[in-house]
Chain A
């Protein structure tokens, strides 16, 4: 039996960085993956959707080229070619990760890992490997609720991304991040999309001003129908299409995308052999050092049931790896930016308005709309705004949000400022290059003190 200092189970964005970090620190490391390295994010989630969204954006730009003074005879969508491009991107990245693992001396095993005991892992029930420390990074997968019938016209995001054709019409069940991203992309490419959401609004974790901006744009510009506040009932599917009832209204479409929920992957791990147990929701409980209840076993990423984001899994993976090889333990970071690739994009970091209200924190807000920004007008991208949330007493920047062009890129600057504990005054005093989208942060910081140059003063 081969022995390793660290064995990582799962090669997604939590697992493979953990393996590389542990190897960098001199440990002998093995990683076990039952499917493709890169996990859901690289193969079936973040990356493929972003590849398709890039294609959709390219189409939209060319279609609307006239507004920039460019005439194009006719733009057409070749979805099969878009899927082909997406697959190439995924393959390239996947190979890149494999090479990185190899270059760092991480031994890769393919198969399903299960605990024999705390320090022994069986791969597909055959190969046994010994592990001083184990990092569980098995992630999560789409969950199909019982009320959804089995049918080829009812798909979850993973199988949707492997279709090489686009339906003419589509019902998106669930107005969360996955549902809204795919709805935006499909609608941009001309699909008639209806979102059916049980809650009172889509993207409910966001502050209401952000939600209103996204929903308004999706409804008015992309023509997405957003139905909220009721369950989609009587769902059936046949060769003709998918049907459902939303209140009194009968809905029909060519395809139904199930984007409701994800569940943690712990099946087949035989956690009990390691003296561990998933909690009642199926997640593995961990502390802020990524420790499980077993001294030699760590867990990171979606399987821990904390923030389900790839970059958070990576941050946890680093913490776990450093801890596993005996470095001084440090808490995993908690300031996690959240990015949503809808049209328009949304991104948030730190405290939200709703969060401040829940904590009874006295905060000040500063908002600046892109329509007041020279660069946004020049680029023809004026939807949305950025906002700061700062402590009313100390002026400390506590949270930020952006909705609109490049929001998912812009948020990095805000995250750095918050992490560095800057005050709104200092952010406002920082010179931002003109003309750029980033200027919006500076303007919003001024707005927080009512001292905005490029916005009319608020009536007193």
Chain B
């Protein structure tokens, strides 16, 4: 029996997904539980397993096409079985994101190569005569921007000729191999420039143009772009920075290390933040501009940097955990995030986020609030610095933290008190003794 394979729904918010790789070919045997294809959702890449034995009869949705969840992406069955007719879904832009421009629409024409100029609004249907098209192809020029003078705006040969004259095409000198390569890569010779000092377009120039051709960002980057832009556009953000003396926390951590309990700096900061969030409920809230939604629990987001972008795993109910549990839980989540194995629900629902760049040797930085929250803590490197203690100048390990706050909810004084509460906790030796005694 032929069974349709559908695009699963990963998590509450997922409306569309894109297949990034088919691990089986058409006509290949598939066992139950084997991976059929990999899907990029708006949060991560997931693998989809076959739910029964059979043969992959047909792939309906190829790689790179975004389709709504529950769409049929292929058929499973036995060899020789007939497949029902299905319309192949058209490429659609990701929901909510700006449409991803295609390379053709972006090829800079007339402008300098580093400015990206959108193509002029083209007529709904592009009409071109075979002769005109052949001439454009022969000249390796994109005919789409040409104004047609034929019936219904059809581009005819004389239009292409006039266009080539107008663009001074005939003064271009192009090496034969460069022209062949440009044709193969679908480039427009008018958009390629010779290297400075040369009037002749050579293979190296085409290779440069190919390398510089705009390409769609990965789904992950598109999501990052969309969410961070949304945050900056909707939330008026301001920043408060403090510097904590880490002498006690570091010494305590070293002592615990000796006893076999391993904590990271992030664990200390996370614990201090959770305690502070209980004291300042406004910071553990969010607003849409009209309503305020307080969260009784702290769901702590921790930014993890990957090669291809960022993910924010969420430690749920972090305020209910002991420090040992918090440490263990965040460690597991971070490891899974690095391995690309987080489920969508493990990456959503945070109420406050920490971004730690301490390992990247930074003095100070600000982070952008995760949409749906009202503040984010940016943690910088611990640096030995001269500080005044009493009347003496002494060297101390100092850590700068900057809180970004949504001013719609949090005023300056509240932000200052909140971040100073974190600082005070970090410097409080007695607190750590209590929290980490087993």
Interface set of A (CB-CB < 8 Å, partner B): 328, 330, 391, 393-397, 420-423, 426
Contact between A420 and B175, CB atoms less than 8 A apart: yes
Query: Is B135 an interface residue when CB atoms closer than 8 A count as contact?
Result: no
Determine if B184 is an interface residue (Cβ-Cβ < 8 Å).
Answer: yes
Q: Closest CB of chain B to A168's CB: distance in Å?
A: 53
In the assembled complex, the Cα of A396 lies from the Cα of B183 at a distance in Å of 13
Contact assessment for B175 and A394 in the assembled complex, using a CB-CB cutoff below 8 Å: no
Known: A394-B177, A395-B177, A426-B176. A421 touches B184 (CB 8 A): no
Report if B16 contacts A (CB, 8 A). Answer: no
Write out, one digit per residue, whether chain B residues 164-194 have a CB within 8 A of any chain A CB (1) or not (0).
0000000000011110110010000000000
28 A-B interface contacts by CB (under 8 A):
A330-B197, A391-B177, A393-B181, A394-B177, A394-B180, A394-B181, A394-B184, A394-B203, A395-B177, A395-B180, A396-B180, A396-B181, A396-B203, A397-B177, A420-B175, A420-B176, A421-B175, A421-B176, A421-B177, A421-B178, A421-B203, A422-B175, A422-B176, A422-B177, A423-B176, A423-B177, A423-B180, A426-B176
When distances are taken between beta carbons in the complex, the residues of chain B under 8 Å from A328 are: 197
Kindly state the separation between the CA atoms of A426 and B202 in the bound complex, as whole angstroms.
16
Q: How far is the CA of A43 from the CA of B177 in the complex (A)?
A: 41
Residues in B neighbouring A420, C-beta threshold 8 A:
175-176
Closest-by-CB residue of B relative to A418 is B177
Most chain B beta-carbon contacts within 10 A, residue among A394, A423, A426: A394
Q: In the complex the two chains form, what is the Cα distance from A395 to B181 in whole Å?
A: 8
Interface range on chain B: under 10, 10 to 19, 20 to 34, or 35 or more?
A: 10 to 19
- A391 vs B185: C-alpha distance when bound (angstroms): 14
Contacts of B202 in A (CB 8 A): 421
Q: Which residues of chain B are within 8 angstroms of A396 by Cβ–Cβ distance? A: 177, 180-181, 203
- Nearest Cβ distance between residue A364 and chain B, in whole angstroms? 13
Give the nearest-CB partner of A427 in chain B.
Answer: B176
Contacts of B178 in A (CB 8 A): 421
Interfacial residues of chain B within 385-435, with CB under 8 A of chain A in the complex: none
Complex interface: chain B residues within 8 A of A330 (CB): 197
Which residues of B (317-340) have their CB < 8 Å from a CB of A?
none
Q: A391-B177, A394-B180, A423-B177 are in contact. List 11 more A-B contacts (CB 8 A).
A: A393-B181, A394-B177, A394-B181, A395-B180, A396-B203, A420-B176, A421-B203, A422-B175, A423-B176, A423-B180, A426-B176
Identify the closest chain A residue to B178 (Cβ). Answer: A421
Closest Cβ–Cβ distance, residue A288 to chain B (whole Å): 14
Closest to A330 in B: B197
Interchain CB contact under 8 A, B184 and A393: yes
* A421-B178 Cα distance, complex, nearest whole Å: 7
Where chain B touches its partner, the secondary structure class is helix
Looking at B175, B176, B202, the one whose CB has the most chain A CB atoms below 10 A away is: B176
Q: How many angstroms from the CA of A422 to the CA of B174 in the assembled complex?
A: 10
Closest Cβ of chain A to B210, distance in Å, is 11
Residues of B within 8 A of A393 (CB): 181, 184
- A396 to B178 CA separation, bound complex (whole angstroms): 8
A28 to B203, CA, bound (A): 39
Q: Which residues of B contact A (CB under 8 A)?
A: 175-178, 180-181, 184, 197, 202-203
- Chain A residues with CB under 8 A of B197: 328, 330
Q: B410 to nearest A CB, angstroms?
A: 56
Q: A425 → chain B, closest Cβ, in Å?
A: 8
In the bound complex, CA of A393 to CA of B180 (Å)? 9
Q: With a CB–CB cut-off of 8 A, which chain A residues contact B175?
A: 420-422
A328 to B198, CA, bound (A): 13
A167 to B437, CA, bound (A): 94
How many angstroms from the CA of A131 to the CA of B202 in the assembled complex?
39
CA distance A185 to B202 in the complex (A): 42
Query: With the chains together, A391 CA to B197 CA distance in Å?
Result: 26
When distances are taken between beta carbons in the complex, the residues of chain A under 8 Å from B203 are 394, 396, 421
What chain A residues lie within 8 Å of B184 (beta carbons)? 393-394
**A394 contact set on B, CB distance < 8 A:** 177, 180-181, 184, 203
Residue of A nearest to B203 (CB): A421
Please name all residues of chain A whose beta carbon is closer than 8 Å to the beta carbon of B180 when the two chains form the complex. Answer: 394-396, 423
The smallest beta-carbon distance between B206 and chain A, in angstroms, is 9
Chain A residues with Cβ under 8 A from B181's Cβ? 393-394, 396
Per the bound structure, the CA–CA distance linking A396 and B181 in Å amounts to 8
Which residue, of B177, B197, B203, has the highest number of chain A Cβ atoms within 10 A?
B177
Q: How far is the CB of A289 from chain B (nearest CB, A)?
A: 13
Measured between beta carbons, the chain A residues less than 8 angstroms from B176 are: 420-423, 426
CA distance A111 to B180 in the complex (A): 55
Q: Which residue of B lies closest to A426 (CB)?
A: B176
How many angstroms between the C-alpha atoms of A426 and B197 in the bound complex? Answer: 26
Question: Whose C-beta in chain A lies nearest to the C-beta of B183?
Answer: A394
Chain A proximity of B185: nearest CB distance (Å): 9
Q: CB-nearest residue of chain A relative to B175? A: A421
CA distance A394 to B197 in the complex (A): 25
Minimum CB–CB distance from A397 to chain B (whole Å) comes to 7
Give the chain B neighbours of A421 by CB distance below 8 A: 175-178, 202-203
What distance in Å separates the Cβ of A450 from its nearest Cβ neighbour in chain B?
18
The 4 A-B pairs at the shortest CB distance, nearest first, are namely: A396-B177, A421-B175, A421-B177, A394-B181
Shortest B359–chain A CB gap in Å is 35
Q: How far is the CB of B202 from chain A (nearest CB, A)?
A: 6
Q: Give bound CA distance, A394 to B202, whole Å.
A: 13
Bound complex: CA of A421 vs CA of B181, how far in Å? Answer: 11
Residue of chain A at shortest CB distance from B200? A421
Tell me the complex Cα distance, A328–B197, Å. 10
Chain A residue nearest to B182 (CB atoms) is: A394
Rounded to whole angstroms, the CA-CA distance of A98 and B176 in the bound complex is 42
Q: Closest chain A residue to B180 by CB distance?
A: A394
Q: Shortest distance in angstroms between A335's beta carbon and chain B's nearest beta carbon?
A: 12
In the bound complex, what is the Cα–Cα distance between A397 and B180 (angstroms)? 12
Give the complex CA separation of A421 and B180 in angstroms.
10
Q: Which residues of B contact A395 (CB under 8 A)?
A: 177, 180
A377 to chain B, nearest CB (A): 32
| Most central of B181, B184, B197, B202 by chain A CB within 10 Å | B181
A372 to B228 alpha-carbon distance, docked (Å): 69
With a cutoff of 8 Å between Cβ atoms, the chain B residues found around residue A422 in the complex are 175-177
Instruction: Give complex CA distance A328, B177 in Å.
Output: 28
With CB as the reference atom, state the residue of chain A lying closest to B181: A394
How near does chain A come to B383, taking the closest CB pair, in angstroms?
A: 36
Question: How far is A394 from B176 in the complex, measured between Cα atoms in Å?
Answer: 10
